[in-house]
Amino acid sequence: MRTIRTLCFVCGLVIPLLPVHDNALASKTLVEVETVNSYTPCFGGGDLYNANQSGVNFYTELLRVNSLGFQINGGGSWQDAWTWNTDYLDPDTPNAPPGSMDYAFGDAPNMAISFFQGHGIQNLSDDRPCTSVATCTTYQLPATCESNPWTYQQLGQGKGACMYATPRALVTCGNRDAGSATTPIHYAYLTGPNMVLGENPSEGGWRGAGTNGGTSLAIFHISQALNVWFPNTEWKSMFGGIHMVAGLLLGWGGDTADSLGFGNAVASPYSTNPNGPVAQSYANAISSITDGTGCWNGYSYTGGINGCGCHVVIAYGNTLRAPANTLNHEPWAGLTSDQGGTATSTAYSGFMLGCNYNVAEYFWSGTTH
């Protein structure tokens, strides 16, 4: 377990700091910010240019007014080689990779928000035009026939494209990522047994990951964070008490842009209205992001997306009303405490979208989610 990291600030100053991890805090006020621009050391290329600065913009905006007293874990964002996949992996889960330490970083007990921006893995799709999911048989996986303005332009009016449920993952290039020196693993799967977020004494250890977590909101700005139609298949396993998970849902032909504006856009609603619903603020933030190419024949704003896509927030709960209450009503202050026993199962789910095109004009036809 590390005891020190080098933090890179926007001014370029490099300062060694100990991570902040104080279980005596009166409420959950910690914010974890991890970003990656530099992927060349691990993959021979694929560098981003704006993820690190977007993360700095995110926490700078959170601290600008900061009526709730949020504190940045470690004093700044972990960047590049100092962003490790083990920060999001739970050592209490079965077959967790050695060095997993989400309890100190991505899912610390007093964590209100965890933010990651970097690469993700690609969607599995094909170019076969479809009008229903019955056509989608290329892969023996849960499938959807998804349409958007770009499928109509490329595949024909009234046509969608087949997309398939596959594991989602964030990609790191850390100097102590899981694995060995000769065979490092630079992924942390959002789908799977080892990323479990928000488990805490209030909600109990029902997810099988102990009770040493606490994150209320996780934000993943990665490529194809979620496929259309598959929240349960691809994200459900992350929920162990966390209130909400937010990311990007990309349609066929779309990808997340290397966005500079994302961090500030999703944090600024806290500065202007800390009593506003967090999920709605995140969904609406897409309209204030100007980088990316946007959606052909979509709305006027690009939303930080190259193509058609959405900001998406998902919540689960043990009653039919619990997810809706979280998504529609939970303010920023709600992130500083646990949910008092309502996030004790994934029996019921809900989601909220903010898109760069009018999704009501297009169809999604799926077999399972």
- The mean of the pLDDT values for the chain is 89
Average pLDDT rounded to a whole number, residues 323-343: 92
Mean pLDDT calculated for residue range 152-165 = 94
* 2-26: pLDDT as tens digits: 443 333 322 222 223 333 333 333 4
DSSP 14: E
Return the higher-pLDDT residue of 289 and 23.
289
Q: Which amino acid is at 38?
A: S
Question: Which distant-in-sequence residues (6+ apart) come within 8 Å of 50 by Cβ?
Answer: 37, 258, 259, 260, 291
Pick the range with the lowest mean pLDDT from 161-170, 222-231, 262-271, 320-329: 222-231
| Residue 149 covered by a domain | no
pLDDT at 120 over 50: yes
* pLDDT score, position 92: 95
Paired sense of beta strands 71-72 and 30-35, if any: parallel
Which H or E element spans position 150?
A: helix 149-155
Residue type for position 27: S
In total, how many domains does the chain have? 1
**Mean of the pLDDT values across residues 74-86?**
94
19 belongs to a structural domain? yes
User: 157 pLDDT exceeds 50?
Assistant: yes
Identify whether the C-beta of residue 8 lies closer than 8 Å to the C-beta of residue 38. no
Q: Is residue 50 part of a domain?
A: yes
* Per-residue pLDDT at 126: 83
Position 183 in a domain:
yes
- pTM of the predicted model as reported, rounded to 2 decimal places: 0.92
The 10s digit of each residue's pLDDT in 27-77 is: 899 999 999 999 999 999 999 999 999 999 999 999 999 999 999 998 889
* Bridge partners of residue 353, in order along the sequence: 312
Q: What is the mean pLDDT of residues 275-298?
A: 97
pLDDT in tens, 184-204: 899 999 998 999 999 999 899
Tokens 């040493």 -> residue: 212
- Structure-block tokens of residue 71: 């504190």
What's the rounded mean pLDDT across residues 266-279?
96
For the chain, what percent of residues have pLDDT higher than 70? 92
Instruction: Fill in the amino acid letter for 364.
Output: W
Q: 125 versus 103: which is more confidently predicted?
A: 103
* For range 293-298, the mean pLDDT: 96
Q: 3-state SS string over 315-357? A: EEECCCHHHHHHHHHCEHHHHHCCCCCCCCCCCEEEEEEEECC
Does the pLDDT value for residue 313 go beyond 70? Answer: yes
Whether 277 shows a pLDDT value over 90: the answer reads: yes
CB 168 within 8 A of CB 256: no
Does residue 154 sit within a domain? no
**Domain ranges, residue 241:** 5-123+166-355
Q: Is 75 within a domain?
A: yes
Residue 367: the pLDDT is: 66
Domain-embedded: residue 321: yes
Q: Which residue has the tokens 């504006």?
A: 261
Whether 151 is covered by a domain: the verdict is no
Q: Which residues pair with 204 in a beta bridge?
A: 200
Please provide the size of the chain in residues: 369
